Amino acid sequence: MKSRKERLKDPDVLNFINICPSTLLEYTKDTKRLKELAAVCSPEKTVFEITEAENIKERLMLLYLGVGIIKDLGYKIAVDDIASGYNRLQLIVELIPHYIKIDRALIADCHSKRAYKNMLRFIKNLSEDFGAETIAEGIEKKEEMEVLREIGIDHGQGYYIAAPGRAINKKIIREGFFDGRRIQTGTGGKYKGA
């Protein structure tokens, strides 16, 4: 198994860093931190995943500026937990992220809930308008995977694909759900299927 440092430099791995908006703003005040990060993990393989850990309504304009700085340095942006909070769609429209991560709440049993399928289609269409890729979180059933594939969701992660830290189910790759790239999340450096 590769060391954490080797995984950070692996060209086949996207490194997702979970970050709350206030921390992102701190990083963009002094770009020295971002340049230090670039020495360890290349910007084109690093995605700052904006979480919903805090209310950002009052600091939204600062967040937009911070995201602009991040993008100018070559880093990518993801908006996490789409479908879990009221202001996530506004963030997508305002930040135009590279990745849109769809919360497990919308994935669970999507094969049996027409409204969930419709919402997934909406998110997929929205992502295409922005040129963003979609990532479904928490895929646990084959039926969920089939619906996501039918809708055209780009990537997925969850126990159906691979448990954290486990090898990706090669059958999933052969079936064409995603291209086999791996996403390394900010959760202890464990791999999750992309």
Intervals of the chain under pLDDT 50: 171-176, 178-194
Of 190, 188, 189, 182, the closest CA to residue 45 belongs to 182
The pTM assigned to this predicted structure is: 0.77
Q: Could you report how far apart the first and last alpha carbons of the chain are, in Å?
A: 18
Comparing CA positions, the residue from 16, 24, 31, 75 lying closest to residue 53 is: 24
Q: Which of 28, 87, 76, 98 is nearest to 52 (CA)?
A: 87
**The predicted structure's pLDDT at residue 153:** 93
Residue 63's pLDDT is 82
Q: How confident is the model at residue 18, as a pLDDT?
A: 85
Q: What pLDDT shows up at residue 19?
A: 84
For the segment(s) 4-193, the CATH number from 3.20.20.450, 3.30.1360.120, 3.50.30.10, 3.40.630.30 is: 3.20.20.450
Structure tokens at 159: 């126990």
How many angstroms separate the CA atoms of 41 and 48, rounded?
Answer: 12
What confidence score (pLDDT) does residue 192 get? 36
pLDDT at residue number 144: 94
What is the distance between the alpha carbons of residues 80 and 47, in angstroms, rounded to a whole number? 11
User: What is the per-residue pLDDT for 4?
Assistant: 65
d(CA 149, CA 178): 9
Residue keyed to tokens 């937990």: 81
Rounded Cα gap, residues 50 and 30, in angstroms: 19
| CA–CA gap between residue 135 and residue 138 (Å, rounded) | 10
